[in-house]
Chain A
Amino acid sequence: MKIAVCIYEGPYNHEASDSAYNFIKAAIDRGHEIQGIFFYHDGVYNVTKLMEPPQDDRHIANRWSALGATGIDIVVCIAAAKRRGIVDDVLVPNVRISGLGQLTMMAIQADRMVVFGD
């Protein structure tokens, strides 16, 4: 099954990012295809390289970046990002900023869209 994932919440503050990550790993392990990952609302904060969590904790941005390195398309909404000061310069590698049209294409092309957030 082709699955698209949309994440609405910021890192650490909310479990949405962790739940989405665990869901995606489990889906891939089960042989599903991840159509794309879209960060919206405060979710755009998940992929800034400026974050520096304590060393004994998970590094959420690096974790997403590593997932992006496997070829999964990870998109940050430009409108939500601009509002919150997230620009290309602060992104971790393997993610990109684009428009809501990308979310639309994911919603149309994926068999399921799974949303993580309040």
Chain B
Amino acid sequence: MAEEIKKIMFTVRKAPHGSIYVYEGLEVKLIMAAYDADISVVFMDDGVFALKQGQDTKELGIKGFAATYGALMDYEIQKVYVDRHSMEVRGMTEADLLVIGEDEETEEPVKPQVIDAQEIAAMMAEQHNILSF
């Protein structure tokens, strides 16, 4: 009998380029998505900056990885959420968010889903594991 599919949530809480956590955390997500697990990703706190469209790391002299977020859905990572409050206090709106893929049927661009803290808490309570990067 097949084991139940485990729910694993990633939280992204740090700014994308001041440290390597978010970048290496992305590598973990891409690998885990290839396994039999129910993956979700929530961006909150400074982590919401990782979803800002139009990032350019050239002047920083480091490799950017925002383009990979644009392919999250291609990696079978469909459940991507962003905390509304974290965005608001940082002056970001849904218009600032980058695209993570396109809808299979309509081919419309898909953005991360903006949700409230209560919804995040409810999802967290259902998880088998939560990994923070």
- Tell me whether A113 is interfacial, beta carbon within 8 Å: yes
Q: Which of B20, B21, B37 contacts A108 (CB 8 A)?
A: B37
Contact B20–A41 (Cβ < 8 Å):
yes
Cβ contacts B32-46/A at 8 Å (1 or 0 each): 100111000000000
Q: Given contacts A41-B21, A107-B6, A108-B6, is CB(A100)–CB(B132) below 8 Å?
A: no
Contact size range, B = 10 to 19
User: How many angstroms between the C-alpha atoms of A8 and B21 in the bound complex?
Assistant: 9
How many A-B Cβ pairs are below 8 Å? 46
Closest residue of A by beta carbon distance from B3: A108
- Tell me whether B113 is interfacial, beta carbon within 8 Å: no
- Tell me whether B76 is interfacial, beta carbon within 8 Å: no
User: How many angstroms between the C-alpha atoms of A99 and B30 in the bound complex?
Assistant: 12
Give, as a whole number of angstroms, the nearest-CB distance from B91 to chain A.
25
- Tell me whether A95 is interfacial, beta carbon within 8 Å: no
Contacts of B8 in A (CB 8 A): 107-108
Q: Given contacts A99-B31, A100-B31, A101-B31, is CB(A107)–CB(B131) below 8 Å?
A: yes
- B residues 1-21 near A (Cβ < 8 Å) are 6, 8, 14, 20-21
Contacts beyond the supplied A104-B32, A110-B129: 13 A-B pairs with Cβ under 8 Å: A6-B131, A8-B21, A40-B24, A41-B20, A41-B21, A41-B24, A100-B27, A101-B31, A101-B35, A108-B8, A108-B37, A112-B129, A113-B131
Q: Which residues of A contact B (CB under 8 A)?
A: 6, 8, 40-41, 79-80, 99-101, 103-105, 107-108, 110, 112-113, 115, 118
What are 23 residue pairs bridging A and B, where the CB atoms are less than 8 Å apart in the complex?
A: A40-B24, A41-B20, A41-B24, A79-B27, A99-B31, A100-B28, A101-B31, A103-B28, A103-B32, A104-B31, A104-B32, A104-B37, A107-B6, A107-B8, A107-B32, A107-B37, A107-B129, A107-B131, A108-B8, A112-B129, A113-B129, A115-B132, A118-B14
